[in-house]
Each structure stands twice: as C-alpha cells, then as structure tokens.
Structure 1
Amino acid sequence: MQKTPQIYGIRAVMEAINANEPIDKVFIQRGLKGSLAKELETLLRKSGVKPNYVPLEKLNHITKNNHQGVVANISPIQFYELETLVEDVIEREKQPLFLLLDQLSDVRNFGAIIRTAECSGVNGIIIQKKGAAPVTADTIKTSAGAAFKVPIVKVDHIKDAVYYLQGSGVKVVAATEKTESDLYQIDYTGPTAIVMGSEDRGISPSTLRAVDDLASIPLLGEIGSLNVSVACAIFLYEAVRQRQQK
C-alpha cells in the first residue's frame, strides 16, 4: 500500500508551510519545548493549520526517521477556500450541489464518496480540518482519480460552513436517522447542500440544529443503518433524479 507523502523535522515542516505546500496533517509531540517549536506553532496558527498533539510513541510509529517531535503529511491535492468556491459555483451554476462531510474518518469511505460525488455532479465537497479523513493515496485510489476533479474545501467547523451556504442561498439538508421525514419528501432541485455524518457518531448535534431540513433513508430490514458511502450515493442520486425530471 502506498503511503502518504511525509516530511519530518521542525525546520523541514516550517519550510514546507512557507512554500505553501498542501499540508494535510501536522503531528507534534506533546510537551515539545524550545524556540523552534514555538516558532512552528506560531506559523501553523497563521497558516490556519491545526496541529495534532500526540505522544512520542505515535510519532515513532508514523516514521522511523529522526522526526525531532514533528511530522507532517502532505496532501496529494490542493484544497480550495470555502468563500471562493461557493461564490464561483453559484455564479456559474443554476443548480449548485454541495456535499458536507461531518468528520468522516475512513479514507476508503471518503474515496468512494468522492467518486460518487463526481459522477453525480457535485460542485464541491466540504470537510472539517480536524478529525476528518485525510486525502491519502488510498483515498485517491478508491476515488478512481475523482479526488483530482471535485474541489475539496477544509473548514474549521462544518456548522460554520452550513451558515455560510445558507447565507449564500443554498438549502442545507442533513442525512440522519433522527427524523421521521425521509429523503424523498425533500426538494433538491434548487441550490442544495447535503450533510453526511461520521461512521460512528453521525452528524454533530450543533450541525443538526443549524440545517434547514432533516431526512432519513427508509430501512426495511433488521439492520439499523447503511454504510455512509452507500447512504451518500442514495441521497445524491435522489437529487439527480429530481433535477432530471424538472
């Protein structure tokens, strides 16, 4: 299995940030001290990258190289800015369709969802900076290369992206079992964003309170849930069906 490109060492990571490399994750040893470590943390704050503070054992597991307490994963793609993407899409598309993933954690699920999103005409995918599955080589492979075709945005909080989309005239629909309304009762023909939750926790309560509509998938068997990538496909293609009939 191909590994995610990595850089390690404080100075190397700082140079990568200054060179605008697409940093996906930064792991810093808990309790790391020194002037360089402080300088790195300041640089991360300015660049909007949130570090993950982990024990030394975690870093030693990530790489066998002399990491000096810092390891960074380089994303194989460039990420977009939320405001730029939304404004551009709304300007050129009559029926924009966005997808928000609330802390989805499995890279293969992420890849499968990106592939479905590309096939169903999604204009952009929005993920959270912290706690979300990274864009790795496995993600790219599972997406069948679609990760290079669908713009992906990273935000601090999904809820903030919901508010921004609503302010831009986009209706936001959350896929959740915590409602009696099913997805076939929702109108997806206008500007729409669909929110999918994480594999284990679903959509966060604060995000559920912020959206315009809640919708569930009718489940007729004994198993209480679908794989998130399958559920996402069902929602996206209901939007496709409605839009083709309009």
Structure 2
Amino acid sequence: MEKNTQIFGLRAIIEAIESGKTVDKLFIQKGLQGELYKELHDLVKKENISYSVVPVEKLNRLSHKNHQGVVAQISPIDFYDLDNLVMSVIESGKTPLFLLLDQLSDVRNFGAIIRTAECTGVNGIIIQKKGGAPVNADTIKTSAGAVFKIPICKVDHIKDAVFHLQASGIKVVAATEKTDHYIYDVSFKEPTGIIMGAEGKGISPSVLKAVDAKAKLPLLGDIDSLNVSVACGAFLYEVVRQRR
C-alpha cells in the first residue's frame, strides 16, 4: 500500500467514508468487535463497500501503526458525478467522447488507457465501482500523471452508464470481436461512448446487448487478440482521424 493513500484506525476510516472519500481496499481483522467496529460495519454495508476479513498478521504487515484492526486504501483522486459531467460536456458545445471500461482489472493497462484518453481528447472515463482496477500509485505512474487531468466517474453498473449516455443522445459503441463490422465501418463523428472490455473476458454479455453498435479491429497475424490498452488506442485515434 502507498503511504500517502493509506489510513488506519476505526474512527479515521469512519470519518473518511462519511466525508465521501472513495475506499479502494478495506481490510478488517478477523474477530473484531466493539461499538466502533459495529458503527464501521453498518456504514460499510450502507455504502456498499467491499472488504476483506484478514488475520491480524496481515494488518501488521500493512501498517506498523496502531491500526485498531482496520486498514484502508483511499483513492488519491476525487471521482466525478456522471450526470453532471455529461451535462457540462454537452453544454460546452464539444462533440462528446466518453470511454467506458467494463471491469478492466490490470492497473498498468488502466494507466496506459488513461494516458491515451487524455491525449485524444476524451471527455471522461467511466468505470464500475466494483471489480475494476483501482486508481493507485501504479495507475498514476503508468498514466504519466494524466489521471489528474481527465474526469473519471464511478457507477454501480456499466450498463446503467450506457443507458444514461444513450438517453443524453450519445451513441455507444462496443469494441468487440463478436461482430462483422470493422472500426472503419462505424462513424465516430457524432457524440460517442466507446466501451472496452476486461482482459480475457471482454465486454459483459448484458452490456453488449445494450450498445448501439459493435466494431472490431482487423487482425492480420496468427494471434487473435490485442492488449486492451493497444486496442483502445487504435479506437481512440480512429475517432481523432474521423473528427479532424
């Protein structure tokens, strides 16, 4: 854990959650009891925060301080509200371009995608609250600091974000090999959201059913897939090419 995003102690973590901080990881000592623990447990349930129950030895390795049986990692950035972000982009007069990441898990891929997104004029990145890569030191380093320059939104489900964009007049395109249409057959000149899937699994079937269009990249070699950050770069620069 990075010291600058690590907090410990029951009261400190309770106050962090109540102040709206995003908890990426929460470790709770097995068998922990007491009034403050009950208050934290109820708050974690209310805010739907995932946590791991671990032995005290694990906590002692994470922190040499008096951790009181709990250690958390807090996101180093503030996340944007999706509704407010979409509205502000539309009102700015720009042609919206959003990137949705469906449970992408590798922090280095995440950081590389953030860097490319910032370079290609993406207005915001949308990720799911659970199951995806966190914003941590590796993400920040791989993004070359771009994580501080582009809005990132967290939603309960990517499918909800798809519906929200569509209701706002933004076409949603899935980057998937499960289509006959190539990226060059799709128009990106209008307001667009592009979905990239998780490493290995791709885009969730339920999300694929909700999109407006699907597109794939031509693969001319023997390997049947690209690294997701490389594929994302190809998609985003096709948007740049079409909009120039």
For normalisation by structure 1, the TM-score amounts to 0.90
Kindly indicate whether residue 236 of structure 2 is the aligned counterpart of residue 241 of structure 1: no
Letter in structure 1 aligned against 2:77: I
Between 107-116 and 16-25, report the one with greater CA deviation: 16-25
Post-superposition shift, 1:116?
0.2
- 5 Å-filtered alignment, 1:135-214, equals 135-214=135-214
Once the two structures are superposed, residues 53-85 of structure 1 have per-residue CA deviations (whole angstroms, 9 ceiling, x without a partner) of 344379438614454443211111111111111
Kindly indicate whether residue 97 of structure 2 is the aligned counterpart of residue 84 of structure 1: no
Q: Could you tell me whether the CA contact under 8 Å between 2:140 and 2:146 is conserved in 1? A: yes
Q: Secondary structure at the match of 2:88?
A: helix
Name the CA distance, whole Å, in 1 between partners of 2:97 and 2:113.
14
Report what 1:217 is aligned to: 217
Post-superposition shift, 1:240?
0.7
Once the two structures are superposed, residues 76-114 of structure 1 have per-residue CA deviations (whole angstroms, 9 ceiling, x without a partner) of 111111111111111113310000001111111111000
Q: Could you tell me whether the CA contact under 8 Å between 1:3 and 1:136 is conserved in 2? A: no
Q: Secondary structure at the match of 1:210?
A: coil
Report what 2:62 is aligned to: 63
Kindly indicate whether residue 5 of structure 2 is the aligned counterpart of residue 14 of structure 1: no
Cα 1:45–1:60, aligned 2, differ >3 Å: closer, same or farther? Answer: closer
Q: Could you tell me whether the CA contact under 8 Å between 1:28 and 1:70 is conserved in 2? A: yes
Between 22-31 and 65-74, report the one with greater CA deviation: 22-31
For normalisation by structure 2, the TM-score amounts to 0.91
Name the CA distance, whole Å, in 2 between partners of 1:177 and 1:106.
20
Report what 1:50 is aligned to: 49
Cα 1:31–1:158, aligned 2, differ >3 Å: closer, same or farther? Answer: farther
How many residues were matched structurally?
243
Name the CA distance, whole Å, in 1 between partners of 2:193 and 2:118.
14
Report what 1:132 is aligned to: 132
Q: Secondary structure at the match of 1:99?
A: strand
Name the CA distance, whole Å, in 1 between partners of 2:51 and 2:165.
28
Q: Secondary structure at the match of 2:209?
A: helix
Cα 1:158–1:126, aligned 2, differ >3 Å: closer, same or farther? Answer: same
Query: What root-mean-square deviation, in Å, do the aligned CA atoms of Structure 1 and Structure 2 show?
Result: 2.2
Between 181-190 and 35-44, report the one with greater CA deviation: 35-44
Name the CA distance, whole Å, in 1 between partners of 2:37 and 2:70.
9
Cα 1:53–1:159, aligned 2, differ >3 Å: closer, same or farther? Answer: same
Report what 1:97 is aligned to: 97
Which consecutive aligned stretches of 4+ in structure 1 deviate over 6 angstroms post-superposition?
Answer: none
Q: Could you tell me whether the CA contact under 8 Å between 2:30 and 2:56 is conserved in 1? A: no
Cα 1:55–1:188, aligned 2, differ >3 Å: closer, same or farther? Answer: same
Q: Could you tell me whether the CA contact under 8 Å between 2:115 and 2:143 is conserved in 1? A: yes
Report what 1:26 is aligned to: 26
Post-superposition shift, 1:4?
6.2
Letter in structure 2 aligned against 1:132: G
Post-superposition shift, 1:30?
6.3
Once the two structures are superposed, residues 7-45 of structure 1 have per-residue CA deviations (whole angstroms, 9 ceiling, x without a partner) of 123222102223333433333456755443332233235
Between 61-70 and 212-221, report the one with greater CA deviation: 61-70
Name the CA distance, whole Å, in 2 between partners of 1:232 and 1:60.
37
